[in-house]
Amino acid sequence: MSIVEISVLSAQQISAAIQRDLADQSTAIHLVCFDYFDTLVSRSVAPEDTKKIAANQLADMMGNGLTGDVIYRLRGILEQRLCGENHRNGSDPEFNMIHLAGKLHAVLKGIFGDGFLQTEESFVSLVVSIELAVEKQVQKVNHEVFEILRYCRNRGIATAIVSDFYLPAKHFRQLLLFHGLADWVDRLFISADFALTKGHSGRLYDVVGRESGYEHKAMVMVGDNVHADGRMARQRGLLSYCLKKPESADTSVEPDYEAVFSGQKAQFFAEMGLSLHYFIHNLFLQAVRDRHDTLFFCSKEGEFLRKLFLRYQEIRFGRQVIASHYLLVSRKATYICSCKSIDTEDFARLFIHYRDLSLLEFLQSLNFSEAESLAICEKLQLEPFTRHHNLRTHPDFQTLTGAALFRSSYETHRHTQRENFLLYLNSYGRDFLKDGLALVDVGWKGSIQNNIYFALAGRVKVSGYYIGLLSPTEVEGNNEKKGILFEDVPAHSPYIHVFNNNRSLFEMVLGASHGSADGYFSREQWKDLKHVRQSSFFREDEKGEYPCVTVLDLPEERRLYNELIAPLQKVYCDLNDKLTARFMTPKPVLPALEWWARQHARMVFNPTKGEIDFYAGLYHLENFGLFEFTAFEQGKKLPVSKRLKNFLALIKDPAGHLETGVWPPIILRRLGLEFLIRIEGKKRYKTVFGDNR
């Protein structure tokens, strides 16, 4: 066969030929080289499209208004410039992504200043991570060629990858690790490391021979490119085999979110996975726009939200470009940290939400244990269990708050918890006075954020990001709040009546693998308190330098999470991964908000009976203000007379019954009016969207 006559063979034919070559003692083959792209792996998009996707990723991460299209064009200009410089210097017209990223940083810095990334080193590292993340998403292993690679290695023949590519070998190897190929490849010869190529001059083959120590006649090249892997290899004296090219990928199709979601529809409340992904996507973009480099996810709902956030970034960028921490907080644990001295504290932020309380519930809301609370009431001869109407005006409350015993205990408890909480915050090593504190939570008024803000004496700028906000409290210049899916301030956001229609569902599906934060204690303090509190350390600090957070983990909550919530979260996590990967296209098009709202509306306006039954079996623990389990079950079946009475009352005042913040299907079920669920849901859907779909 002459040099110009290169046959294109199937993987099976190449495999058979190589087996014959290795069996033929006269050939003395010592090294089998493989091309990578379109040989060992195939891409689902065209090569240039990977650059466009990477440009889109970088644009989203920078958040300065620069589009992916502009970055892609800048990259093309810099590529040509670097290739030209290398060629003029005697190398091939090739470039190294590390060098290109440095040049791109200089250009962008000249336009925008330092911006989000402070140093060239961090910017280059990010660009490389994005390139790798994109490549991982669009590549899949060609298993027929992999079998050839494995056959050679199992026969004791050395193997190598020889590729014209712009990522140096130390980064390229991450692709091999991702695909499980690394253990089967001895050497990597990438054009970016040498500024020499297979395709332009063939001089990369000389590097292979020199670095491996094998003569060209002892090497075989397997690739898909007739010129680079075929003719140029043979000109250098290598034996070569050319693989039939795979069919070109169709990159014109926009991401089909409906198709990705279709496989999940059989699950209860499957649309919640869409809404959570939409929240995570927009949370990331908002945090970038607001220049936050770290987010603190508040427990308990933040545990799963952070997991989605971590996965989202890992898939899109190959790393965490916005760092995140999990903050162990609760209303009960943080409220006492935010309180003022007893002479000036009026407990208004408690009583505005919980007016009718018992003295025991009041004391527990200040994070005294039940045993401590009962002891205080006993010594003051006050009845602890009776729930009083408007407690703050009751004589027993005046007696309690005026007693020296309470005042002394309150001040000691307040100071200790606040100091320990601030030490706990400091354990994250952040300069909050300089950088501020960005929180993520489910919603709805942001009371935990308020507690943290006041615990920090209002000196730290606190920014809160929530699934939704409803009449948020204590919003001021240094205490900002943003509802990502919905909010009612300064006005109702679009489709608020869809996302707000069952807020409890968000809280329930975002259950955590642990109980609520109970308090902040040093080990010495805990020795004296552990016998009166039911909580336990969330995790031990090995050095013992910082206070530990205790959590109250109840069997009922663990059973609910393990049996019902964790399986749902797994479905939502898988869907989040798929939707994130689907967004990584040359021209990503996210559906409009209306599409997401219509999907969410299905499960709140037109639920299945199974979903209603599932929801009715859920329950949650109130651990602030009121300390009790709340179940959604409707209880006993109502008699016909009571159902008729409820029906007439509903007709007279529908809003008074169905606009309480509780999911209407559950209200109707409790009223014995289940036959109205579909009728009422259809009416509400039409009110929101103006049609009957």
Residues in the chain where the model's pLDDT stays below 50:
1-3, 251
- Report the distance separating Cα 215 and Cα 223, nearest Å: 19
Per-residue pLDDT tens digits for 110-156: 888 766 567 899 999 999 999 999 999 999 999 999 999 999 999 99
Residue 76: its pLDDT value, please?
Answer: 96
Residue 536: its pLDDT value, please?
Answer: 79
- Report the distance separating Cα 534 and Cα 530, nearest Å: 7
- What 3-state class would DSSP assign to 105? helix
Mean pLDDT of the chain: 90
Residue 3: its pLDDT value, please?
Answer: 46
Q: Say which residue the tokens 């502009």 belong to.
A: 70
Residue 2: its pLDDT value, please?
Answer: 43
**Beta strands per DSSP E along 30-142:** 31-34, 41-43, 139-141
Residue 540: its pLDDT value, please?
Answer: 56
- What 3-state class would DSSP assign to 103? helix
What is the dihedral angle through the alpha carbons of 149, 152, 155, 158, rounded to the nearest 10 degrees? -110
Residue 623: its pLDDT value, please?
Answer: 73
Residue 245: its pLDDT value, please?
Answer: 76
- Report the distance separating Cα 63 and Cα 57, nearest Å: 10
- Report the distance separating Cα 610 and Cα 606, nearest Å: 12
- Report the distance separating Cα 624 and Cα 631, nearest Å: 16
Tell me whether residue 389 is exposed, middle or buried, using C-beta atoms within 10 angstroms of its C-beta: 0 to 12, 13 to 18, 19 or more. exposed
Angle, in degrees to the nearest 10, between helices 271-289 and 593-605: 140
Residue 96: its pLDDT value, please?
Answer: 96
Full 3-state SS string of 8-28? EECHHHHHHHHHHHHHCCCCC
> Nearest to residue 138, comparing CAs of 38, 34, 222, 281?
38
Report the half-sphere exposure of 683 (CA within 13 A, side-chain side). Answer: 9
**Reported pTM:** 0.91
Strands 239-243 and 219-223, by their bridges, are parallel
> Nearest to residue 105, comparing CAs of 48, 58, 68, 67?
58
Residue 392: its pLDDT value, please?
Answer: 93
